[in-house]
Amino acid sequence: MTEDKIKHGYEINELAREDSWQMAQTVANELLKGFDTLDGIEPAVTIYGSARLSPDDKLYAETEEIAYRLGGKGFSIITGGGPGVMEAANKGALKAGVSSIGLNIDLPEEQAGNSYTTKSITFYYFFIRKVMLVKYATAFVTMPGGLGTLDEITEVLTLIQTLKIRPFPVVLFDSKHWKGFLDWLRSSVLAKKFISEEDFNLLRVCDHPDEVVELVDNWYTRHEVTGKKALAK
Residue 175: half-sphere exposure toward Cβ, Cα within 13 Å = 8
Rounded to an integer, what distance in angstroms lies between the CA atom of residue 117 and that of residue 100?
5
What does the DSSP 8-state code read for residue 112? P
Nearest to 76 by CA among 99, 46, 52: 99
Domain covering 41-229 assigned CATH 3.20.20.370 in the classification: no
User: How far from each other are the two terminal CA atoms of the chain, in whole angstroms?
Assistant: 50
Residue-wise pLDDT for 134-189, tens only, equals 999 999 999 999 999 999 999 999 999 999 998 999 999 999 999 999 999 999 99
Q: What is the side-by-side strand order in the sheet with 170-173?
A: 119-123, 100-105, 76-79, 44-48, 139-142, 170-173, 203-206
Domain boundaries, the chain: 1-39, 41-229
Residue-wise pLDDT for 32-47, tens only, equals 998 989 999 999 999 9
How confident is residue 232, by pLDDT bands cut at 50, 70 and 90? very low
User: Is the confidence at residue 1, as pLDDT, over 60?
Assistant: no
